[in-house]
A and B are shown apart, each in its own frame.
Chain A
Amino acid sequence: DSGVTQTPKHLITATGQRVTLRCSPRSGDLSVYWYQQSLDQGLQFLIQYYNGEERAKGNILERFSAQQFPDLHSELNLSSLELGDSALYFCASSVAGDTGELFFGEGSRLTVL
């Protein structure tokens, strides 16, 4: 158990819909990262937050948005969903230290029909 909690674990929805994925980082971790994993694109970095502020942005579509709340949990909002958005969405957290490795949640598997 990495200590990072993601909900829901599985989600099936239709094209055009909107979903929200939630992430609770490990206790004490200020930095939260979102990654998208699909067969054709591999692990794509979406966005990073640090202590409530956006820190870095990757290949995140305009239809997607995220935020980190004062209690440090984060949400990834995906709207106007398309078939190609079907993927495994990972949240990870990290704390400054010797290695600063990312601790990943179990992922939210999104299927868009």
Chain B
Amino acid sequence: AQKITQTQPGMFVQEKEAVTLDCTYDTSDPSYGLFWYKQPSSGEMIFLIYQGSYDQQNATEGRYSLNFQKARKSANLVISASQLGDSAMYFCAMREGLGLGRLYFGRGTQLTVWP
């Protein structure tokens, strides 16, 4: 089974609007971390936001927030007030357990912001 599922290959949003990118995960480990990365067309992978499985509150970083629904095993990324520079591929990832284990990545969602 896929550890991380991103069901939206592509999303479009108008500038200044909010957009939600979906991510579901699968693990039986009670301790895990969820990550979102952004990959612009230039190729680099940029860390955006992190949510730990024991965190009570949804993580926020500037215009990024993570809508963490533990029972549903979902970790959706919400980008508020979209900007043209937000156009990129977005990857959801998970680490199982504590420590420095590998990250499992989803297939990504290509976000296009139009003026």
Contacts and interface: CB of A to CB of B under 8 A. Distances in A.
The reply to whether chain A is a binding partner of chain B is: yes
Interface of A: 2, 31, 33, 35, 42-43, 45, 48, 50, 55-56, 58, 88, 90, 92, 94-96, 98-104, 106-107, 109
B95 A100 contact: yes
27 contacts: A2-B44, A33-B102, A33-B103, A35-B105, A42-B106, A42-B107, A42-B108, A43-B105, A45-B103, A45-B104, A45-B105, A48-B100, A48-B102, A50-B100, A58-B102, A98-B50, A99-B52, A100-B99, A101-B35, A101-B50, A102-B47, A103-B47, A104-B37, A104-B44, A104-B45, A106-B43, A107-B44
B19 to A, nearest CB: 21
B29 to A, nearest CB: 15
Interface residues of B, number: 22
* Chain A binding surface, main DSSP class: strand
A55 B106 CA distance: 22
A96 B99 contact: yes
A70 B91 CA distance: 32
Contacts, number: 58
Nearest to B108: A42
B70 to A, nearest CB: 18
A75 B91 CA distance: 25
Contacts of A58: 102
Candidate in A33, A56, A99 with the most chain B CB atoms within 10 angstroms: A99
